[in-house]
Amino acid sequence: MIKIITTLLLLLAVVSANEDFYTPSNSEKMNNSMSISEAVFKDYKSFYSSHRLLRLGLGFAGGGIIANTQIDSNIQNWYQDNVRNSGTNNFSKVAKQFGEGKYVLPIALLSASINFYKPESNLGIWGVYMSRAYLVGAPALLMTQVLTGGSRPNEKNYGSKWKPFSDNNSVSGHSFMGAVPFLTLAQMYDDNSVVKYLAYAGSFLAAWSRINDNSHYFSQAVLGWYLAYESVDAVFDADRETQNISVTPVMGHDNYGIQVQMKW
């Protein structure tokens, strides 16, 4: 099973490494020259910006409504009674592995390490952005898990209802871990509809497996995915902001100067 999952993830990386599909942007080229500390600082600044915190607040408010009403249990009961079967169970065994940190984290780090040997490699860029998304999103994942304090469907504690500091399952870690690699590809291939939408579809695999296996409620799986989305988006936004201000020299017949261009 480990070999199968590793092969599937590496195949995704090979797709991202194909120069015919993807060309690194200027921001991604600049990313290669930044130190790790500089990149992480930019990522955290982007993730904890006011507009993103507002979006996260609205997203978690929506998740809280689902979790603290009968919506979560109704969805879970309907799925378990009407959808789950031996076929979904077999597929879920594979889908779940995409959210296993012991697989995806080493792949992210190994892919990122390629940047040291081949700068501007698409495979390296994929690994770097994945690793940065995990670094910026993991603390928020752990914090929200504890602060919300929901339990799993198969646990007789509080169900999906939020009881701060009582449990740590309101935000699915598998959903978060499994979504980041695919959402990174979707951002990289924003101009390639086929790859982008396939990647978005793949980003839900781990989250769906948790619902199928009765290991997480619907809101918990969705919030894990959403936190991954904001983490990946924050990393790409951090590099896009680097390009928002550009300074270029201007030379004419009778004058010299500097041109400052701002994009918003």
The average confidence (pLDDT) of the chain is 83
Residue 204, φ and ψ in degrees, nearest 5: -90, -5
Top pLDDT among 254 and 175 is at 175
Distance CA 159, CA 112 (A): 39
pTM over 0.75: yes
Contact indicator for 60, 144 with CB cutoff of 8 Å? yes
Give the pLDDT score at 256. 46
Exposure of 163 in the CB half-sphere (CA atoms within 13 A): 10
Please determine, for residue 130, whether its predicted confidence score (pLDDT) is greater than 90: yes
The answer to whether residues 134 and 180 touch, using CB atoms and an 8 Å cutoff, is yes
Helix and strand counts by DSSP (H, E) for the chain = 12, 2
Domain range for 136 is 2-262
What's the chain's Rg over C-alpha atoms? 21
User: Which pair of tokens denotes residue 215?
Assistant: 């290991």
> Residue 114: what pLDDT?
86
85 has a pLDDT exceeding 90: yes
Task: Please tell me the distance from the alpha carbon of residue 234 to that of residue 242, in angstroms, as a whole number.
Answer: 13
Burial (Cβ within 10 Å: 0-12, 13-18, ≥19) of residue 7: exposed
Predicted local confidence at residue 117, as pLDDT: 81
Domain count, the chain: 1
8-state DSSP, 118: S
pLDDT tens track for 6-35? 555 555 555 555 555 566 665 555 455 566
